[in-house]
């Protein structure tokens, strides 16, 4: 199947700093990428849908000024957590939709963010 990479896999930062997470589709072009957040023992929560060349669509309750998404190319989307706080500590996962018939989403390995 298609491969999606995510970098970094783990980051620890101080409160008030900004963190950028990259999501790349390595062997296919992804016009749509999704950003999820997952708290321990909870299901995936969709934060935003990112379409190449256009503004991201944010889910209700997600602050677009705090979670900046850029989808500059068909293989790269970035999520920047601005002025991170301890409550932003979570597992952030990106996925990219392939062009296959089954509309499968391919997931990156996730980024564990810990804000001190």
Residues lying near other proteins in the complex (CB under 8 A) are found at 1, 6, 34, 42-44, 46, 49, 91, 93, 102-110, 112
Name the residue nearer to other proteins (CB basis): 16 or 100: 100
Characterise 83 by phi-psi region: left (phi > 0), alpha (psi -120 to 50), beta (else).
left
Minimum CB distance to other proteins, residue 16 (Å): 26
Distance (Å, rounded) from C-alpha 12 to C-alpha 28?
A: 30
Q: Which is nearer to other proteins, 67 or 106 (CB)?
A: 106
Minimum distance from CB of 43 to other proteins (Å)? 4
Between 40 and 86, name the residue whose CB sits nearer to other proteins. 40
The values of phi and psi at residue 87, to 5°, are -70, -10
Q: How many whole angstroms separate alpha carbon 5 and alpha carbon 107?
A: 8
Closest approach of Cβ 18 to other proteins, in Å?
23
Which C-beta is closer to other proteins: that of 9 or that of 15?
Answer: 9
Q: What is the closest distance, in whole angstroms, from the C-beta atom of residue 82 to other proteins in the complex?
A: 24
Distances (CA, A) of 67 to 59, 61, 76, 88: 11, 11, 16, 10
């Amino acid at each position: 199947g298609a491969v999606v990479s995510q970098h970094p896999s783990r980051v620890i930062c101080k409160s008030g700093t900004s963190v950028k997470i990259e999501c790349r589709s390595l062997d296919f072009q992804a016009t749509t990428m999704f950003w999820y957040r997952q708290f321990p023992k909870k299901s995936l929560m969709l934060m935003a849908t990112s379409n190449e060349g256009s503004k991201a669509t944010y889910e209700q309750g997600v602050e677009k000024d705090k979670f900046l998404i850029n989808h500059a190319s068909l293989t790269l989307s970035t999520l920047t957590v601005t002025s991170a706080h301890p409550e932003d500590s979570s597992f952030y996962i990106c996925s990219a939709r392939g062009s296959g018939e089954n509309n499968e989403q391919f997931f990156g390995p996730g980024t564990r963010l810990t804000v001190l």
